[in-house]
Structure 1
């Protein structure tokens, strides 16, 4: 090893900084330079998957087979698993099946290895390890250089993962939220969705779909959490609800099936959902609430009111005993509007959702849904980016003429 300081070696490894290549190609170039600067034969980055508690090889130099073959190492198992579990540097001076679980390492002829955890704060991002086919001792300067490189790569990987997740979440949400609300005779619809400025895109969704017999399904939901994971869960719940809605005319039964599905298959998931079925004549909505806010209803010439619908437990909450979910009928006179929303519209750090709902009720009146959306968003959101996701949907039963 050269006598240069660890930071000087790091600068040499990183070179001129990020180039124009794809992130994976740039990472491979950095690892190749690390092999040359540190005088080793292999360098590998394994990303930590917190859900499976496994390390997945994503980039390598001198041992590209790890990536091509999709090598995965359980946290706590073998060499890389020990590094991840201990979150400390590990040095091996003997490489075989007794010290590593990945046969590629001893088949490559490695005789000495050094691995360090890749950390971003307290978060384990992955493991970085290097190996030599010659017997050698890794000095303290080697360990420090690899730690510095691991910290830098961890920050870059976390940033890249965040960007990828945001892009994927946006694409998923756009594909699942109705781009154009359905055109239904006798009904007018409008909606808004705005991601939270602080937490980013999440699991809020709204949906309107036709059902057999001229009925219309109406959904407003909010999955706990944010980012890609919440958006993926939202997509699964949305699809399941649509399927159950075709077989079950009672909204409470639909939400009961959705809850059973979430408790059994979506461990740890929590969501609030309002699901209603508007009858063929648009005269009333059969509505059930799974922990969700009730809609605000306003008939022409009358003050708006919160719909008198009893709340039931959220989706995904395992209570240990069956819960009898309830469906209530909400009258929708000619010309009336019903306003559904998620709590991001009415809840603030300094304002409870109940207070915000009262403010919303004072704003709602029987008018064109697009105008209502614009006026409500202007009054409750204005020029302040919302702290949380906001979903708003307004439907209006057309006034009868005759």
Structure 2
């Protein structure tokens, strides 16, 4: 680098770059354009952004200038390994004046002929978003001014990437959840249904879901579930649980056995995941309802002419928690009888105990048409207040026998 521009000159240039570029951050190749300008200002040959994946503890190359093959070849670096991994693990700038297989894990760096590297962490508050590094094919002594300049760019990029990540995750989670919830409740002989789903306003889309499906022998499966957590990860786990439960429901007519298989699958393939689920099986004659609870709130039952009450079913551990054998209870479902399934977002509020919400729920569930019950429940428990958490409710009614 010629050294002609002063540190203040370069800071002004980089501030202008980031201010104008990040205002249109969603446009294609904007990051690559910014990195090319960083190379010009710092007098380096390469510049790369690696995004941090906290679940996998990996850094993924997502943008590069002068060494674009890092992105084309989907370079991945474990946090703590090599040069970029060390920057991420230590969360501080790292300067490297010897580039080979003993100091970096990405072969492209030494194959490119780089002789010196400077990397800084991309931080948004205390969150590690990724790593930004630059390289030179000639020996280079990076100084404090270079570090400060790169930190400036890294900070702006980190903030923009976090916003982009959050927006993309929310959109993907919402799209995934919409695709997995039944677009139209099936027409089933002897039964009628209605459902409502409202995504929570904070902290984002969660893992609530309901499902309704026909099974061999004219039986009917009913599911309500809630995956712990929010965001895309919760929605993805929700989708996996939904698919697995449907598969196990084809193998067994015992809800407890279905949930036991689901729990075994989650503990083996999704360690750390947690979900509450209620699974019920309506008989072909529609007069019997077998149900098992995995940490979920019990359904509400209302018979014609009688008061509503919570179904008397033992609550077994949530999916993902080891416990005693799961249990199934079989209940009578009389003509006109109504079952209301729901998630905790319907009855939980910050300003009152859950018992208050549960009591309100039993007060408004009656043996009416499912659509009427849904409307009454939502008016009484949601009203004009935006949902804080996801809310799902599914109402099933055995049709009255005419004559």
- Name the TM-score, length of structure 2 as normaliser: 0.96
Whether 2:78 is the aligned partner of 1:77: answer no
Q: Deviation of residue 15 (structure 1)?
A: 5.6
Alignment of 1:3-402 (within 5 A): 3-5=6-8, 7-14=11-18, 16-18=20-22, 22-23=26-27, 25-319=29-323, 323-402=324-403
Kept in 2, the 8 Å contact 1:170–1:201? The answer is yes
CA distance in 1 between counterparts of 2:361 and 2:11 reads: 57
Q: Deviation of residue 13 (structure 1)?
A: 3.0
What is the count of residue pairs matched by the alignment?
A: 399
Q: Deviations over 1:213-233 (max 9, x none)?
A: 111000000000011100100
Kept in 2, the 8 Å contact 1:212–1:246? The answer is yes
Moved more, 55-64 or 156-165: 156-165
Q: Deviation of residue 134 (structure 1)?
A: 2.0
Name structure 1 gaps, 5 residues minimum.
none
Kept in 2, the 8 Å contact 1:9–1:145? The answer is no
SS in 1 for 2:148: helix
CA distance in 2 between counterparts of 1:396 and 1:97 reads: 67
SS in 1 for 2:38: helix
Q: Deviation of residue 93 (structure 1)?
A: 1.8
Kept in 2, the 8 Å contact 1:19–1:26? The answer is no
Moved more, 392-401 or 23-32: 23-32
CA distance in 1 between counterparts of 2:72 and 2:358 reads: 54
CA distance in 2 between counterparts of 1:156 and 1:296 reads: 46
Tell me how large the CA RMSD over aligned residues is. Answer: 1.4
Kept in 2, the 8 Å contact 1:272–1:292? The answer is yes
CA distance in 2 between counterparts of 1:202 and 1:4 reads: 47
Kept in 1, the 8 Å contact 2:18–2:156? The answer is no
Q: Deviations over 1:224-271 (max 9, x none)?
A: 001110010001111010000011000011001111111111100000
Kept in 2, the 8 Å contact 1:111–1:133? The answer is yes
SS in 2 for 1:207: strand
Q: Deviation of residue 20 (structure 1)?
A: 5.6
Q: Deviation of residue 354 (structure 1)?
A: 3.0
Kept in 2, the 8 Å contact 1:343–1:390? The answer is yes
